[in-house]
Amino acid sequence: MTTNESPWVSRFSGLINRETIRERVELRPEPILNIGDMCPSEANDRIKKALARVFYPSDECLDFLLQWMRIARFHSLEMYATPRVFVEGVYRRESPLPESCFPLCLTGLAGTGKSALVGALERLMPKPSTVTATDGTEFPLVSYRAIAVRICSTPRDILTQFAQREGGGRVLSEFLRRLAYRDGWALVLQDEFQFATQSEKANTRVTQMILAMCYIGVPAVYVANYSLLHKLKLRNQEEKDRLLQYVEILHPDDHTSDDWRTLLRWYRDVAPDVFIFDPEGDAEAIHRLTAGVKRHVVSLLKIGFEKAFSKGEIVDYPVLEKAYKSRKYATFRDTVEALPKLHGPFRNSRKDLWCPIDAVVEPSEDHDWERQRQRCADAKALDASMTVDERKALTSLSKKPVASSAKQSEARVAFMRTMKADAEQLRENDTWFLDKL
């Protein structure tokens, strides 16, 4: 290492690029070969694992990853501008890191792929290595640290997981700040807060856990569901200013987007001999069954596969419709059907489905998705209520050619008879009414 090089900054070279990020994080489908020779239990297990492994980085995912990489690089540039700056800082009694960093929150509906996105970030971050200072001392070079929060976690447990040693809260915090600077941490990540939000005291405990991470002095990202954000909104103003200042929402893909169609194509390619639904033609219909949530899509495909494979059938859209109505999909179906109704009193009863940082949804807003779903439901209800003869008559009627406009009679203008004055007409009407009594 020369005096002009900064390996803490140069490790991010080439990673501040969308296409490079896409190539490094995507996990393309691995087609399952000879799946027809497997027994149902083995085939179901292979499908489950293969679908879970797929990661398609949408444009929104790439935006988040690029933003986090820029933050990590900027922190490294500020803290480790030159090897000399590092050597001076690492031997100081107190860590030169800032007292705290405002955390970035990643939120979204359950199943949209927040944890998968954090996993992609871990694949993207520079791998651990070492750096040798000018005095010959070798130091670790670690770009990030990540932990998963569990149900029994406390703020001290968070520090213990990061430090990988026992001790008091203050001692661990000071140790972590020196460790983070010495090892060159550029990001710290916390996930799976949903397991720590069940008790009545979760509001205070989770707040302390997030703040404990912030006091390390390294840019931090924590993953939270909507329910947790509603609880954090109840905290004191100074805590909300810290925890909710930078909130980013991971949205489900839109049914008209290329990202959505590509995701369906990647899922189909897991077992192209069995999955024969059309990622283009069925994109909007499958979106209605899943709300675009990745976990819903995977579950729908797994249920459809279980139903079809045991009978030697293929999985097309009608099979997915049957899977949508199945008992196994009931929980996801409730969520899908609740999402278009998030206004009025019902909105307050389903805080797990909307972000409190969003603008308030007015009842008068145009709910295209709900109306479209209702039209489909009405059409199916009408079809189910008709007899066989009525269906045949409706089919023949829809196929009947439209009469030629040339044979239609010419339009004529009809002139209305001149009406009497209003007062006179009202008197006559009143007389007629009384005569009829």
Span 158-212, pLDDT tens digits: 899 899 899 888 899 999 999 999 999 999 999 877 666 565 566 788 888 899 9
Does residue 8 register a pLDDT over 70? yes
- Pairwise CA distance, residues 433 & 47, whole Å: 77
pLDDT for position 344: 79
- Of 36-40, 68-72, 98-102, 134-138, the poorest mean pLDDT is in 134-138
Bridge partners, residue 104, by sequence: 221, 246
pLDDT for position 206: 86
pLDDT for position 202: 67
User: DSSP per residue over 246-293, as a string?
Assistant: EEEE-PPPPTTSHHHHHHHHHHHTTSTTTB---TTTTHHHHHHHHTT-
For tokens 């019902």, name the residue: 346
- Continuous segment of H or E residues that includes residue 105: strand 104-107
- Pairwise CA distance, residues 210 & 224, whole Å: 11
Does residue 295 register a pLDDT over 90? yes
Write out pLDDT tens, residues 308-323.
998 999 999 999 999 9
Does residue 395 register a pLDDT over 70? no
Contacts of 418 (CB under 8 A, 6+ apart): none
Contacts of 268 (CB under 8 A, 6+ apart): 275, 276, 277, 279
- Of 37-41, 336-340, 427-431, the poorest mean pLDDT is in 427-431
Q: Residue 81 has which token pair? A: 């501008």
User: DSSP per residue over 210-223, as a string?
Assistant: HHHHHTTSS-EEEE
Q: What percentage of the chain has pLDDT greater than the value 90?
A: 62
For tokens 């909007």, name the residue: 284
Does residue 88 register a pLDDT over 80? yes
Averaged pLDDT for residues 87-108: 93
Half-sphere exposure of 197 (CA within 13 A, CB side): 17
Q: Among candidates 226, 147, 225, which has minimal Cα distance to 191?
A: 147
- Pairwise CA distance, residues 170 & 176, whole Å: 10
Q: Among candidates 135, 145, 137, which has minimal Cα distance to 176?
A: 145
Torsion of CA 75, 80, 82, 86, to 10 degrees: 170
Q: Among candidates 388, 256, 380, which has minimal Cα distance to 321?
A: 380
- Of 79-93, 166-180, 349-363, the poorest mean pLDDT is in 349-363
Q: Residue 326 has which token pair? A: 């199945």
Higher pLDDT, 389 or 430: 389
* CA separation, residue 257 to residues 92, 125, 260, 317 (Å): 52, 28, 5, 19
Q: Among candidates 341, 333, 301, which has minimal Cα distance to 317?
A: 301
The rounded mean pLDDT for the chain is 85
Write out pLDDT tens, residues 247-288.
999 999 999 999 999 999 999 999 999 999 999 999 999 999
Half-sphere exposure of 251 (CA within 13 A, CB side): 11
Q: Residue 305 has which token pair? A: 């596969």
How far is CA 307 from its chain centroid?
Answer: 27
